[in-house]
Chain A
């Protein structure tokens, strides 16, 4: 991790992570079904051969093979670029393969027969993700990363319009449940967002207090640490008692927000504290010695230095909360967790997926968005890698 420009990093060794990812994707395509034909939405399906996805399925196979060869034989900076394009292309062509299979195997809208996404397709996505992360390690230009993402998204959108993706079971499931789905997304985002906001408002001052007052640090970090160890369902159960004592309901949004907020506190409080504690005492001494007030020191010096770690804490909290928000469906909140639970209950796998996939997307978006924000607001003087 030197200050050298990233172009200078030249790997000649095999990219093991990328090779593993490509192998997983290949195995998914060859050994497992990408698509499953079901007679109706509930019954178990029959696996379909790879070729049922039409030309795009062969494209997917080819891209995975190219990625494998590149990860074994190509050199940087070319290798990372090939890997990026293959990863994006694989996920994009998967959309077309799925759409082709759905529209060709179940062409009749009136028929209850469905095409579901098979295990092989998930492996292909997982393999492509591994390929992506391996490629990003070599720090290819941002334009290539953005290009790959845009290409991928375009392929999916086009597959949605023209590629028959609309005949896929999960999409049919969505169309059945569209209103409930969007309501669930809204509730999920609202609960998670409000809780995260509250956690920041409460957690940052607690973090500052911990950094300033020795005895407060032990108390505050101790308490938020203990809360973190309580399992989420148990916490929701435990909250019933104090809320009832106050005459408040033990189910619904209130206990959900309380639980989510306290879970989000630990990463935020701890990182605020760490961010301030890692500020060089000499910097504080110099700031005060030159006539800054405590507030000026905090705002002009300590906050900018602590902010990268704070954002990192918020990021961890956001990802954590998006997950736990699914669980608060158990106490009567219409989050995406409800779709998952309903899907399980009715054995409708695609309904479960309809709840799960958006949660994953939310978590990934929050994660990468906050990472990007962190980079953006971090002064070049304290960025981890010079760029």
Chain B
């Protein structure tokens, strides 16, 4: 879908990008990563001709990008950037239809598209369409930015650190949602980041660059397990086993059918006694199955009342989503000091839980699978 052939960009004496060749297959996510100044953003901006290459050829589809006018080319390539760059004087809806407007779509089609896209990126269309960008939080603005990039349904998306400016918790959610949207839409994506975890999580293939050169272009697993050289090895980091957890989603090892107690009912109290025979903790849910806290049996054993064994906590504070990465789930567990963590859907309904032991098992599996070859290769 996208092919770079010996692409070079020279600024005076410095080579920003040096004979870079790269191919991104249709529907693939290619993440460009590397230390700052490695030429990753320059490479991305050459694809939509915000920067013109000094040498080499870039093909999108089967067309040389230099053979089309830059405006026409760019309207076919979705573009989202770290600083979002929403137009502050236009509403969310008007921002989203920027490209459709340039393409001359009619009003009703644009209105429908706004609804579709806001829903797709997880925002309530009715509430958000007429807001102005300054009323949005960083995460919301970023979602609108992605919706805007997708507006004219371009086959290709170019994203320059799109989640770089949001806080870690929001970034994790945006990544999950991006992964979900990508599963649905199967766009060809070129994604620039400096965050290795983000690259491992989202990439089909990672292009690791340094000083304008491509050092390795392969799947995240290959980069982790078979780094081409010491630079790649060091860049991917020492905690490779842990990083691999970034590729596994919570629902892959989620344990469903766990004991629950319905809060505040007699049946709940009975269930609590029954459950205490087996487990120390039980999750507390309301009538709709939403997580509201937990029940600690040890308090009963010590002669405490049933009320004092109950801890009420908002589900947002103590649960992860099914599409959260195991790495994130593990870090939440360590943060909270839990040996297992609840999994809920977006409305707080309890789906199951993930235990530390389950994650450990995944880790050792991964190590066994990876084999011992990596260090020898690094030594080469």
Measuring CB to CB, which residues of chain A are less than 8 angstroms from any residue of chain B? 280, 282-293, 296, 301, 304-305, 379-382
| A-B residue pairs in contact (CB < 8 Å), sample of 21 | A280-B88, A283-B85, A283-B87, A283-B88, A285-B85, A286-B84, A286-B85, A287-B98, A289-B48, A289-B74, A290-B74, A290-B75, A290-B102, A292-B102, A304-B89, A305-B88, A305-B89, A379-B90, A381-B88, A381-B91, A382-B132
Residues of B within 8 A of A287 (CB): 85, 87, 98
- Which 9 pairs from chain A and chain B are nearest by CB? A286-B85, A381-B132, A282-B83, A291-B75, A291-B74, A379-B89, A282-B85, A289-B79, A304-B89
Distance of A320 Cα from B250 Cα, bound (Å): 68
- B binding-site residues for A, Cβ under 8 Å: 48, 50, 70-76, 79, 81, 83-91, 98-99, 102, 132-134, 145, 148-149, 158
Contacts of B89 in A (CB 8 A): 301, 304-305, 379, 381-382
Question: Which residues does chain A contribute within 8 Å of B149, judged by CB atoms?
Answer: 290
* Given A304-B89, A379-B90, A382-B88: A289 in contact with B83 (beta carbons within 8 A): no
Residue in A289, A379, A380 whose beta carbon sits within 8 Å of that of B50 in the complex: A289
Measured between beta carbons, the chain A residues less than 8 angstroms from B70 are: 291
Q: Which of chain A's residues have a CB closer than 8 A to the CB of B83?
A: 280, 282, 285
Q: Are A292 and B71 in contact (CB under 8 A)?
A: yes
Contacts of B99 in A (CB 8 A): 290-291
Contact B81 A285 (CB under 8 A): yes
Query: Which of B83, B85, B99 counts the most A-chain CB atoms under 10 A from its CB?
Result: B85
CA of A296 to CA of B98, assembled, Å: 11
In the complex, are the beta carbons of A286 and B74 less than 8 A apart?
no
Question: How distant is the Cα of A297 from the Cα of B149 in the complex, in angstroms?
Answer: 17
- Complex Cα distance, B42 from A175, in Å, reads 75
B81 cross-chain contacts in A, Cβ below 8 A: 282, 285-286, 289
Tell which of B71, B84, B91, B148 touches A282, judged by Cβ atoms closer than 8 Å: B84
Q: Which residues of A have CB within 8 Å of B71?
A: 291-293
Q: Does the CB pair B79–A290 fall under 8 Å? A: yes
Shortest distance from the beta carbon of B114 to any chain A beta carbon, whole Å: 16
| B148 proximity list for chain A (CB < 8 A) | 290
* Bound-complex Cα distance A288 to B81 (A): 12
Within 8 Å CB of B90, what residues of A?
379, 381
Whole-angstrom CA separation of A285 from B81 in the bound complex: 9
Q: Give the Cβ gap from B136 to chain A, nearest Cβ, in Å.
A: 11
**Shortest beta-carbon distance from B267 to chain A in Å:** 48
> What are the residues of chain A within 8 A of B76 when measuring CB–CB?
291
Bound complex: CA of A294 vs CA of B106, how far in Å? 23
Q: In the complex the two chains form, what is the Cα distance from A292 to B133 in whole Å? A: 20
CA distance A380 to B75 in the complex (A): 28
Partner of B133, one of A284, A288, A290, A381: A381
The answer to whether B98 and A290 have CB atoms under 8 Å apart is yes
- Residues of B near A305 (CB, < 8 A) are 87-89
